[in-house]
Amino acid sequence: MPLVLTPLRQIPLVQPGDNIAGLIANAVKSSRLELMDDDIFVITQKIVSKAEGRFVNLATITPSFEAIATSRQCEKDPRFVELVLRECKVVLRTRPGTLIVEHKLGFVCANAGIDHSNVQSLEGNPEDWVLLLPENPDLSADKIRADLEAEFSKKIGVLIIDSHGRAWRIGTVGVAIGFSGMPGIVDLRGKPDMFGYTLRVTQVAAADELAAAASLMMGQAAENIPVIHVRGFPYPLREGSLKELIRPKELDLFR
């Protein structure tokens, strides 16, 4: 079966308290899409965070001495830096314009995933509003999946993604930050290649590969395509979680 990615364009602007599964179900029905077992929905982190009310107004934040000192190194608003420090385990790198941290969720990213783009202001100065990542993206994916499976009586997967940079390349790419009902890693060690050679190290980051493909369709600006329907994922669905994709610190050569 070919891999087919279909954007769901009928998702309205998401507000705090909205039911993401309900919005997706309505979009599926209005698009006359017939779901099948093993279909996957890829969802941008932003609408999950919005529905979960992860907005913060910088005007309400008082920066600590540590945030003020770090802000001088990275040349960012100390209130923003204070939020980053609250959302991360440790700061790994600072330079003007860049703050690289280990997020509380375990992965390394810029600014703890806190973002201002495509964030609608609720009141006051629009420049003061930012959006945090979901508190527990795996759990968020679990809830959305359970509601969608109950609605359509199909076995599906749910993948929540965000845009991250990489230490060894320029530019951002879509990556998985939470998922349910699908693998993060597909281990091919011990499998033969086309010439009979036994693979020794190959582990496919299948969730990240799908995240990158979906992110290409979602776009990064004003496209307003927050959900992608996927059919033909080439690996069996199973239970999975973000921890599969987190490289242990002792194996991280960039630390």
211 and 119 share one domain: no
| Structural domain of 33 | 9-52+139-247
155 and 212 share one domain: yes
> Given this model, what pLDDT does residue 11 score?
93
Tally of domains in the chain: 2
Within a domain: 213: yes
- Rounded CA-CA distance 163/113 in Å is 9
Within a domain: 192: yes
171 and 92 share one domain: no
- Rounded CA-CA distance 173/163 in Å is 5
> Given this model, what pLDDT does residue 84 score?
98
Would you call 43 helix, strand, or coil by DSSP? strand
Joined together, the tokens standing for residue 242 give: 């973000």
Task: List the CATH number of the domain containing 79.
Answer: 3.90.1660.10
> Given this model, what pLDDT does residue 121 score?
67
> Given this model, what pLDDT does residue 221 score?
64
| Cα–Cα distance list, 180 to 158, 228, 240, 248 (Å) | 5, 15, 6, 21
162 contacts 174 by C-beta, under 8 angstroms: yes
Question: Residues 11-30: pLDDT tens digits?
Answer: 999 999 999 999 999 999 99
Burial of 88 (0-12, 13-18, 19+ CB in 10 A): buried
> Given this model, what pLDDT does residue 51 score?
97
48 and 145 share one domain: yes
Within a domain: 3: no
Residue finishing a domain among 131, 152, 176? 131
114 contacts 130 by C-beta, under 8 angstroms: yes
Strand partners, 178: 160
Residue finishing a domain among 131, 156, 178? 131
Nearest to 114 by CA among 84, 137, 141, 70: 84
81 and 172 share one domain: no
Higher pLDDT among residues 221 and 2, named by residue: 2
> Given this model, what pLDDT does residue 48 score?
97
16 and 41 share one domain: yes
> Given this model, what pLDDT does residue 144 score?
98
Q: Name residue, tokens 């202001």.
A: 121
Question: Residues 42-88: pLDDT tens digits?
Answer: 999 999 999 999 999 999 999 999 999 999 999 999 999 999 999 99
Within a domain: 253: no
- Rounded CA-CA distance 18/8 in Å is 17
Question: Residues 184-236: pLDDT tens digits?
Answer: 999 999 999 889 889 898 999 999 999 999 999 998 765 789 999 999 999 99
Residue finishing a domain among 107, 131, 155? 131
pLDDT band for position 126 (50/70/90)?
Answer: confident
